[in-house]
C-alpha cells in the first residue's frame, strides 16, 4: 500500500516519529491526514502545517479513540491507514529490581502500548471488513522483539503489542486487511533525548536514526506490505540469534546491562 490518495490517521502525531510520518505521507500525496495527540496546542500547530485535521486525543481512553475515528471519517472519509504511534518510556525506579515499577505505571504502559491498538481495531474493523480493505501500522519498538534494559513496563507491554498485532494480521488477512509493526531502536526524539537515565539509551548501540529516516523505512515497508518494518536492519539478525541461542542471548543482554550499571548508579546518586 502506498500513501498516495489515502486517508490516514496518525496518533502521537504532534512531534517525533508521528509528525515525521504525517509530513512524509503529505509529501507522498495522501488524500487526507488526521493528526491526534495528547497535546492539544501542538496537534493544532501540526495540523495547520499539513492542512489536515487536528484532534486532541488520549489513546489510553477508548472513548477518545472512538471519537477520533468518528471525527476523521466524518471530515475525511473512510480511513485507509491508521497509525497507532503514541507511546511513553518509563524506567524501573530501582535498577536492581525488575518488578519495582508501581501498578499505576504498569497500567499506564498497558493502556497506551497495548489497549490503544485494541481500541483502534475495535473502532475500525467493522468498516474495514465491510470494504474488504484497510491497514494498521502499529509503532511498537525493537524492545517488543528483543527487550529494553532498565524498563520492565516498556519491555512487557511492547511484547504484548507484537502479540496483538500478529493476532490482528492472522485473523483479518482473508478480509483484505493488512498490518505492519514499526520496530526501530533508538530514534532522535524527545523520548530518547529526555530519557530519565542511560537505561533508555541501551537501544542506541546501533546508532540513532532521525524521525525522517524512520518515515522513509515506513513508506518502503508499507509499499512492500511487510509485517515487520525494521529501520535498524540489525534487529532482524538479533531476532534470529535470540531464537536460536536464547540462553546466550540473555547472557549477552545481561553483559550489556552490566556495562551500563556505573552510569545508572551515577544517575541515581546525583
Helix axes 116-131 and 152-172, enclosed angle (nearest 10): 10
Angle at CA of residue 82, ends 69 and 172, nearest 5°: 105
Q: Which element (helix H / strand E) includes 138?
A: strand 134-139
Task: List, as one string, the DSSP characters of 196-243.
Answer: SSGGGGGGGGG--B-HHHHHHHHHHHHHHT-SEE-SSTHHHHHHHHHH
User: What average pLDDT does the chain have?
Assistant: 93
Q: Which residues contact 95 (CB under 8 A, 6 or more apart)?
A: 150, 197, 199, 261, 264, 265, 268
17-75 pLDDT, tens per residue? 999 999 999 999 999 999 999 999 999 999 999 999 999 999 999 999 999 999 999 99
3-state helix, strand, coil split of the chain in percent (to 5) is 55, 15, 30
pLDDT tier for residue 204 given thresholds of 50, 70 and 90: low
pLDDT tier for residue 267 given thresholds of 50, 70 and 90: very low
Residues 244 and 246: their CA atoms lie apart, in Å, by 6
Q: Which residue has the higher pLDDT, 39 or 202?
A: 39
Are the C-beta atoms of residues 21 and 219 closer than 8 Å to each other? Answer: no
107-133 pLDDT, tens per residue? 999 999 999 999 999 999 999 999 999
Catalytic pick among 119, 135, 154, 238: 154
Task: List, as one string, the DSSP characters of 4-72.
Answer: TT-EEEEETTTSHHHHHHHHHHHHTT-SEEEEEES-HHHHHHHHHHHT-EEEE--TTSHHHHHHHHHHH
Architecture (CATH level 2) of domain 7-268: 3-Layer(aba) Sandwich (3.40)
Active site residue 119: no
pTM higher than 0.75 for the full model? yes
Judge whether residue 195 has pLDDT over 50. Answer: no
The torsion angles phi and psi of 186, rounded to 5 degrees, stand at: -75, 135
The count of other CB atoms within 10 Å of the CB of residue 96 is 10
Give me the mean pLDDT over the 72-88 stretch. 98
The pLDDT value given to residue 199: 42
pLDDT tier for residue 198 given thresholds of 50, 70 and 90: very low
From the CA atom positions of the chain, what is the Rg in Å?
18
Amino acid at each position: 500500500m502506498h500513501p498516495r490518495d489515502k486517508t490516514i490517521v496518525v496518533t502521537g502525531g504532534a512531534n517525533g516519529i508521528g509528525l515525521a510520518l504525517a509530513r512524509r505521507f503529505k509529501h507522498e500525496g495522501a488524500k487526507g491526514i488526521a493528526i491526534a495527540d495528547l497535546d492539544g496546542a501542538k496537534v493544532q500547530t501540526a495540523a495547520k502545517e499539513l492542512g489536515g485535521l487536528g484532534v486532541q486525543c488520549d489513546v489510553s481512553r477508548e472513548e477518545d479513540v472512538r471519537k477520533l475515528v468518528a471525527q476523521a471519517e466524518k471530515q475525511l472519509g473512510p480511513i485507509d491507514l491508521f497509525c497507532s504511534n503514541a507511546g511513553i518510556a518509563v524506567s524501573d525506579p530501582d535498577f536492581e529490581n525488575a518488578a519495582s515499577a508501581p501498578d499505576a505505571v504498569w497500567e499506564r504502559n498497558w493502556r497506551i502500548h497495548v489497549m490503544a491498538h485494541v481500541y483502534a481495531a475495535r473502532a475500525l474493523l467493522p468498516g474495514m471488513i465491510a470494504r474488504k480493505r484497510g491497514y494498521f501500522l502499529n509503532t511498537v519498538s525493537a524492545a517488543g522483539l528483543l527487550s529494553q534494559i532498565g524498563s520492565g513496563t516498556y519491555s512487557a507491554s511492547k511484547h504484548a503489542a507484537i502479540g496483538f498485532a500478529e493476532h490482528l494480521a492472522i485473523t483479518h488477512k482473508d478480509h483484505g486487511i493488512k498490518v505492519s509493526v514499526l520496530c526501530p531502536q533508538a530514534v532522535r526524539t524527545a523520548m530518547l533525548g529526555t530519557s530519565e537515565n542511560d537505561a533508555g539509551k541501551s537501544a542506541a548501540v546501533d546508532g540513532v536514526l532521525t524521525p525522517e529516516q524512520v518515515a522513509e523505512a515506513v513508506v518502503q515497508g508499507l509499499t512492500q506490505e511487510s509485517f515487520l518494518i525494521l529501520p535498524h536492519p540489525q534487529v532482524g539478525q538479533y531476532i534470529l540469534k535470540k531464537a536460536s541461542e536464547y540462553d546466550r542471548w540473555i547472557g549477552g543482554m545481561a553483559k550489556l546491562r552490566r556495562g551500563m550499571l556505573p552510569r545508572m548508579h551515577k544517575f541515581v546518586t546525583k
